[in-house]
Amino acid sequence: MQSVLRQFVLSGEDSSLPELVLKLPGSAFAVSDASRSATVRRLWLDTFDWRLFRSGLTLEQVSRGGTADLVLTGRDGQVIAADHRLPPADGRNGGRSRPAWPGLLDTLPLGPLRDHLGPVVGVRALLPVARAVSVLREARVLNSDDKTIARITVDRMSVTYPEAGSVPPRLAVSALRGYQAQALRVADLLAAEPGITEASQSGLEAALAAAGRRPGDYTGKVDVRLTPRMPAAVAMTTVLTSLFDTLLVNVNGTVRDIDTEFLHDLRVAVRRTRSALKLTGDVLPGDMAARFRPEFKWLGDLTTPTRDLDVYLLGYPDMAAGLVAATPGELQPFHAHLERSRAAAHRQLARGLRSARFSRLSREWRHALDTATAAGTRPGATRTTVARLAASRIGRAHRRVLRDGGAITATSPPESLHELRKRCKELRYLLEFFGSLYDPGQHWQAVRELKALQDCLGEFQDMQVQHEEIQVFAAQMMEQRTAPATTLLAMGEIAAGLATRQHHARSEFAGRFRDFASPAGQNRIRALTGAAAA
Amino acid sequence: MKIFATYNIKGGVGKTATAVNLSYLAAREGYRTLLWDLDAQAAATFLFRVRPRVKGGGKGLIRGTRSVDDAIKATDFDRLDLLPSDFTYRNLDLLLDAAKKPARRLGSLLAPLGAEYDVVFLDCPPGISLLSESVLRAADTLLVPLIPTTLSVRTLDQLTEFVADLNGHRPTILAFFSMSDRRKRLHKEISEQLPEQRSDVAATAIPAMSMIERMSVERAPVTAFAPRSLAARRYEELWREVRERAGLPDPKPDDAW
C-alpha cells in the first residue's frame, strides 16, 4: 500500500519525467529510468449538496483497462476505505456489475467503504461531479540498495465533465510502507526545485476549476448577502431570484427521481417563495405577487402527494422494526402498496414539471424577476430599506405566533396547532430571508427556540396526516383486495404507534411554547431586528 | 488469513527460495501477502533489497514493546509486504523462553494482521527449537522442502511424528521435492514414487537450477525477473497445488461486487 505524501503543480509544458530525474542528483536517491505509463479514467462522486466535500472526504472511481477502484480519501489524501477491482460496467462478472451512477448507497456492497459513507451520505444519491482522463507517468525512486522507497507520478489530466478543460500537470510523491521518512526527503528535494510548486487544490478541485465550477456550490439554504440599507424591493427580488434558482436546479433530479431530496429542496423553495410573496409581496412592483401566488400554490400542491409518500417510505424501516405484535413480513403488502402509490404519484409530478404550465410559470416568473430587479435599482424607486421591512414583517409574524400559540389550550382542536405551525414556518422563513442582515450568533439563538417549537408542531402534524393517510391506504388496499387480514392488523399497530407519538408531541407543546414565548426569547427576536433597523 | 511456513530441520534445502517465490505469486494473484523473514541470516530480506533491521529488534517484537505493524516494509511488488529479519533474531529462542505461553507467541503477534493480509508466509531458520514450535502452532500449512534422498524422507517422518505429538492446533504438512536433479537416478526414483505413495507430498518438484541461484544476483524472485523460465513455471505449479490443498478462497477484492 502506498499513500500520497505531497502533491505539486508543474509549471511549463516541458516538465517531464526525464528532466525530473536530473533534478535529484546530489541526493542519496536515484530515479529509475524505467517509468511506467498508463491512461486512467477518473470519476469523482458526491451528493448533489456536496455532503462528502463538506465533510472533507473525496470519493473517486479510477478505471483502467476493464477494472476500476473506488477510493475514499480524507483531507490529507490518506485512503480511508476502498473497494478494489470493480468488475466491468457491462456485468461480465458472474452477473454482477459495477454500480451505475447516480446511485443510492445500497448499490454498494456491504463493507468498510459503505460503512464510512453511510452516516455522511444518508438518503442522498451519489452522482458524478467531475470526470477526467489522466495520462499517468510513474517513476520509482530508489535508495542505495536499489530498493524502491517512493513513487513519483506525473498526472496530465484533461477534464471532460462538467465542462471540457485542461489542468496544469500535477506531480505526486507517494511513500512505500516503511519508507515515509525517506519519501518525505524526496518531496523536500522536489519542492526546492524551480517550476515545482506545492499544489493548493486537490485533484477534484483542480478538475472543477478547469471546468469553471467549484465544489460546494449548491446549498438548499437561503444563500443571499443583503445589506441593511438595500432597498426592500431589490432585496426581496434578490431573495426570490435565489429561491427560483434553487427550485430550477432541483427539477431535473426530481423528474429523474435520483433521490428524494431533490423534491424536498424543490418543495422548500416553493414554500419559501409563497411565504415571501404573501408576507412581503407588497414591496414588489405592480401586481407581481398577486399574479404569481396561485401558480406557486399549484406547483406546491403538485409536489405534495409524492413527498407525503416519500416520508412514509423513508420512515418505513423504523416503523416495521418497531412492530411488537405483528411481524415485518406481515406489513410487506403495505410497503408494496406504498411503492405502487408512490410510482403513480411521481408519474403525475413528472408530467406536471414537464407541462406547458410549468414552462410558462418559469418563463414568466424569470421575466418578472428581471423586470423587478431593473425597476428596483432605478433612483427613487422605493424608500423603504430592507432592514425596516425585515423588522416590521418579522415583528408582525412573531406577534402572530405569540398570539395564536397563547390561545391554544389542552382542549384546542388539532387544526389550531396546524395553523400555528404555518405561522411558525412563516416566521422562520422571514428569519432565513433576512439572516444575512444580523449577527450570526444572535440569529442562531433566535432560530434555535423557534426550531424546537417547530419540531414539536411538525411531529404533531406529521403524525396526524400519516394517521389519516394510513386509514385511506387501508381502504384502498381492501378495495384492491391486496390487504390480507394480518397486514391490516399490522397497519392497525402502526396507526396506534402514530397516535401515541402524536399524543406525546401534544403533551410537549406547552413546554416548548413557554420557552419560545418567555420574555428572554421575545427579547432575542426584538433585539435582532431592532439593531439592524436602527 | 492463511499462514504458511516454509520449514525444515535441515538447512540449505530451498526454504527461502520457496517463501520468496510463493509469496510473490500469491501477491501477483491478488492476495494481500506478508512474508516474515524469521531467519537471522536475512536471506529473504536481502532478496527483496530491504535492510535487515527492525527497530527494537526481536526483543521489541516478542515482548510487544514495538508494534509488528511499524516494522513492516513494502517490497517493490504490489500487495507484497515484508517483515524483515534482524540480527537479534538469532536469540529468538531465548526471547520466546522468557515470554508467557512462548509456543503461542508468534500466533498472537500475527492475529491483529488478519484484517490487513489474506496470506502470511513465515520463512523459518532450520532446526527444532522453541521458535519452530511457535511456528508450528501459528501455521495452517507447513511447506517442507525435501531434497530427494532417503535421509530427507526420514527427516519428514520425524517431523510428522513431532507434529502428531503436539497438543491442540496442528498444522497440515505438505512436503515437496526441492533441488531435485533428474540426472541422479535416486533423485528421479524418489521424486516420482513418493508423491504416489504419500498424500502429504506434493506432485510438483522444484528442480535444482542455476536460474534459482541467480535470485541472489538479481535480488528478486525468479518468478518476477524470469517469469517464463522453467523454474518460475514450477513455482507457479507448486503455488497452485499449495493454494488448492489449503482451500484458499479467491482473492477478496473480486468478491466485493
Q: For residue range B202-231, list pLDDT tens digits in order.
A: 999 999 999 999 999 999 999 999 999 999
User: How many Å apart are CA A123 and CA A261, to the nearest integer?
Assistant: 8
DSSP letter at A32 equals: -
Q: Is B244 on the interface with A (CB under 8 A)?
A: no
Quote the mean pLDDT of chain B.
Answer: 91
Pair (A344, A412) in one structural domain? yes
Task: Give the minimum alpha-carbon distance from B140 to chain A in angstroms, rounded to a whole number.
Answer: 25
Cβ contact B74–A96 (<8 Å) = no
CB pairs under 8 A between A and B: 45
Cβ contact A93–B219 (<8 Å) = no
Cis amide leading into A102 (omega within 30)? yes
Please say if the pLDDT value at position A107 is more than 70. yes
**In-domain check, residue A223:** no
Residue A400 parent element (H or E): helix A386-406
Facing B51 at nearest CB: one of A96, A145, A146: A145
Facing A84 at nearest CB: one of B50, B219, B253: B253
**Distances from the Cα of A167 to the Cα of A15, A352, A458, B191, angstroms:** 14, 41, 48, 62
- Position A141, amino acid: V
What domains can you pick out in chain B, each with its CATH number? Answer: 2-247 (3.40.50.300)
Q: For residue range B111-134, list pLDDT tens digits in order.
A: 999 889 999 999 999 988 899 999
* pLDDT for residue A204: 92
Please say if the pLDDT value at position A436 is more than 70. yes
Facing A178 at nearest CB: one of B74, B219, B254: B74
Any idea what the Cα angle at residue A265 is, between residues A259 and A266, rounded to 5°? 100
The region of weakest confidence among A18-22, A181-185, A200-204, B178-182 is: A18-22
Please say if the pLDDT value at position A443 is more than 50. yes
Neighbours of A447 (CB within 10 A): 19
From chain B, the residues in CB contact with A176 under 8 A are: 73-74
Determine contact, residues A88/A69, Cβ cutoff 8 Å. no
Q: Is B86 on the interface with A (CB under 8 A)?
A: no
Q: Which domain holds residue A141?
A: 2-210
* pLDDT for residue A12: 63
Pair (A181, A238) in one structural domain? no
Supply the CATH number for residue A529's domain.
1.40.20.10
Task: Give the minimum alpha-carbon distance from B86 to chain A in angstroms, rounded to a whole number.
Answer: 15
User: How many Å apart are CA B90 and CA B85, to the nearest integer?
Assistant: 10
**Distances from the Cα of A221 to the Cα of A45, A51, A218, A404, A446, angstroms:** 22, 14, 9, 27, 17
* pLDDT for residue A97: 61
User: How many Å apart are CA A244 and CA A265, to the nearest integer?
Assistant: 11
Q: Is A354 on the interface with B (CB under 8 A)?
A: no
Residue of chain B with shortest Cα separation from A89: B257
Average pLDDT over residues A93-111: 76
ipTM confidence: 0.87
Determine contact, residues B94/B102, Cβ cutoff 8 Å. no
Pair (A396, A307) in one structural domain? yes
Q: How confident is the model at residue A99 (pLDDT cuts 50, 70, 90)?
A: confident
Task: Give the minimum alpha-carbon distance from A82 to chain B in angstroms, rounded to a whole number.
Answer: 10
Count, residues in chain B: 257
Cis amide leading into A169 (omega within 30)? no
Residue of chain B with shortest Cα separation from A92: B257
Determine contact, residues B257/A87, Cβ cutoff 8 Å. yes
Quote the mean pLDDT of chain A.
Answer: 89
Pair (A184, A280) in one structural domain? no
Residue A303 parent element (H or E): helix A288-321
Supply the CATH number for residue A171's domain.
2.40.320.10
Q: How confident is the model at residue A378 (pLDDT cuts 50, 70, 90)?
A: low
Measure CA of the first residue to CA of the last residue in chain B; give whole Å. 20
Residues 208-227, chain B, touching A (beta carbon < 8 A): 219
Q: Considering its fold, how many domains does chain A have in total?
A: 2
pLDDT-above-90 percentage for chain A: 65
* pLDDT for residue B256: 34
Residue of chain A with shortest Cα separation from B71: A178
Pair (A371, A426) in one structural domain? yes
Neighbours of A351 (CB within 10 A): 12
Pair (A325, A364) in one structural domain? yes
- Position A101, amino acid: W
**In-domain check, residue A64:** yes
Pair (A184, A314) in one structural domain? no
Handedness of CA A437, A438, A439, A443 (dihedral sign): negative
User: How many Å apart are CA A171 and CA B8, to the nearest integer?
Assistant: 48
Q: Quick check: helix, strand or coil at residue A179?
A: coil
B220 CB contacts (<8 Å, ≥6 apart)? B47, B48, B76
Determine contact, residues A257/A346, Cβ cutoff 8 Å. yes
Ordered DSSP codes for chain B: -EEEEE--SSSSSSHHHHHHHHHHHHHHHT--EEEEE--TT-HHHHHTT--S--TTHHHHHHHTSS-HHHH-EE-SSTTEEEE---GGGGGHHHHHHHSSSHHHHHHHHHGGGGGT-SEEEEEPPSS-SHHHHHHHHH-SEEEEEE-SSHHHHHHHHHHHHHHHT-SS--PEEEEEEEEE-TTSHHHHHHHHHHHHH-TTEEEEEEEP-HHHHTHHHHTS-HHHHSTTSHHHHHHHHHHHHHHHHHTPPPPGGGGG-
Residue of chain B with shortest Cα separation from A84: B253
**In-domain check, residue A221:** no
**In-domain check, residue A37:** yes
From chain B, the residues in CB contact with A83 under 8 A are: 253, 256-257
Determine contact, residues B1/B239, Cβ cutoff 8 Å. no
Q: Is B74 on the interface with A (CB under 8 A)?
A: yes
Measure CA of the first residue to CA of the last residue in chain A; give whole Å. 62
Q: Is A476 on the interface with B (CB under 8 A)?
A: no
From chain B, the residues in CB contact with A178 under 8 A are: 71-74
* pLDDT for residue B255: 36
Q: For residue range A493-516, list pLDDT tens digits in order.
A: 999 999 999 999 999 999 999 999
**In-domain check, residue A218:** no
Pair (A268, A405) in one structural domain? yes
Q: How confident is the model at residue A280 (pLDDT cuts 50, 70, 90)?
A: very high
Cβ contact A85–B74 (<8 Å) = no
From chain A, the residues in CB contact with B254 under 8 A are: 85, 93
Pair (A294, A198) in one structural domain? no
Residue of chain B with shortest Cα separation from A91: B257
Q: Quick check: helix, strand or coil at residue A325?
A: coil
* pLDDT for residue A93: 46
**Distances from the Cα of A527 to the Cα of A377, A393, A395, A397, A520, angstroms:** 30, 14, 11, 15, 10
Ordered DSSP codes for B222-253: HHHHSTTSHHHHHHHHHHHHHHHHHTPPPPGG
Please say if the pLDDT value at position A19 is more than 60. no
**Distances from the Cα of A293 to the Cα of A30, A264, A272, B44, angstroms:** 72, 20, 12, 80
What is the pairing mode between strands A30-31 and A127-142? antiparallel
User: How many Å apart are CA A396 and CA A419, to the nearest integer?
Assistant: 16
**In-domain check, residue A217:** no
Residue of chain B with shortest Cα separation from A88: B257
Boundary (domain end) residue, out of A175, A210, A245: A210
Average pLDDT over residues B102-109: 89
Cβ contact B257–A98 (<8 Å) = yes
**In-domain check, residue A164:** yes
Q: Quick check: helix, strand or coil at residue A262?
A: helix
* pLDDT for residue A79: 84
DSSP letter at A15 equals: -
Any idea what the Cα angle at residue A171 is, between residues A169 and A177, rounded to 5°? 155
* pLDDT for residue A273: 98
Neighbours of B250 (CB within 10 A): 12
Pair (A180, A86) in one structural domain? yes
Pair (A121, A82) in one structural domain? yes
Facing A85 at nearest CB: one of B74, B219, B254: B254
Q: For residue range A159-197, list pLDDT tens digits in order.
A: 999 999 989 999 889 999 999 999 998 888 888 888 888
Please say if the pLDDT value at position B78 is more than 70. yes
In which residue are the cell numbers 437561503 written? A222
Boundary (domain end) residue, out of A160, A177, A210: A210
From chain A, the residues in CB contact with B72 under 8 A are: 177-178
**In-domain check, residue A227:** no
Q: How many CA atoms lie within 13 A of A533 on its CB side?
A: 15
- Chain mean position to CA B126: 12
Query: pTM for the whole thing?
Result: 0.79
Q: For residue range A29-74, list pLDDT tens digits in order.
A: 888 766 678 899 999 999 999 999 999 999 999 988 777 889 999 9
Residues 220-249, chain A, touching B (beta carbon < 8 A): none
Strands in B73-74's sheet, in edge-to-edge order, are B73-74, B80-83, B33-37, B119-123, B2-6, B141-146, B172-180, B201-207
Boundary (domain end) residue, out of A179, A210, A241: A210
Pair (A203, A236) in one structural domain? no
User: How many Å apart are CA B6 and CA B12, to the nearest integer?
Assistant: 12
